[in-house]
Amino acid sequence: MLLDTPVLLCLDLQMEFVAPGRPFADPDAEAISGLCRDLIEDARRAGWSVVHAQLHQGGPLIAGHGLTQPIKGCEPRPGEVLLRRAGVSAFAHPDLDGVLESGMDSGAFVIGFSAPLSLTATLFDAEDRGHRLSIVEEAIGGADVSEWSAEESRALCVDTARRLKRSVAVAALRERMRATMPVASAAIANI
């Protein structure tokens, strides 16, 4: 974790949210998790801090026998922060506040699953704490919730983020990553 660098917060990039037949799986999970994998790699190349917030076994959404393993290609690497939590919001882990503060004014961006529950709760908690956390619109997944489809759950989350002026499109995020990318990595990315 580096000081004064942007943070990519990877929320619930776990098999529970992508495995077919699971209650919280997004029907578009393959495409969303593929985009999340690409954004994680882009953030690593750009020298950003990559932070993983995951639900642990027995938490409110994964009671007893959920699939808590990371999605292939989205696993935390040495030097990256891993926060396992029991609560709905990523701020249920007490260290997230300090992690985001270390980014100072560089900004933080969240990708992952659990819309509208964990993503929206995390967004509101960040707002309450004064953190500049934005949802990456195309890189969030949701679940069918009551009469709402996963697509409607994602749309609700994005709409909330837009109203708070806390959303960003993938293209804008990638442009920001390119702007902060070290020279050698930028040359490799353009090949």
CATH value at residue 158: 3.40.50.850
Give how many domains the chain has, as a whole number: 1
Cβ count near 74 (within 10 Å): 22
According to the model, what pLDDT value does residue 58 have? 62
* Nearest residue to 90 (alpha-carbon basis) of 129, 39, 63: 129
Q: What single-letter DSSP state applies at residue 17?
A: G
Amino acid 181: pLDDT: 78
Q: Give the whole-angstrom CA distance, residue 134 versus residue 153.
A: 17
pLDDT at 2: 65
Label residue 184 by pLDDT band (50, 70, 90).
very low
* 165: in domain: yes
**Sorting pLDDT into bands at 50, 70 and 90, what band is 188?**
very low
Q: What is the pLDDT of residue 191?
A: 42
Are 139 and 36 within 8 A, CB to CB? Answer: yes
pLDDT for 144? 82
Q: Indicate whether 25 belongs to any domain.
A: yes
Which of 20-24, 67-71, 163-167, 180-184 is the most confident on average?
Answer: 163-167
Radius of gyration (C-alpha) of the chain in whole angstroms? 15
Locate 24 and state its tokens.
């919280």
Please give the model's pTM, rounded to 2 decimal places. 0.89
Helices and strands of the chain, counted as H and E runs: 6, 6
d(CA 142, CA 111): 11
Domain that includes residue 74, residue range: 7-53+66-189
Question: Which of 26, 1, 22, 2 shows the shortest CA–CA distance to 138?
Answer: 26
Indicate whether 59 belongs to any domain: no
pLDDT of residue 34: 96
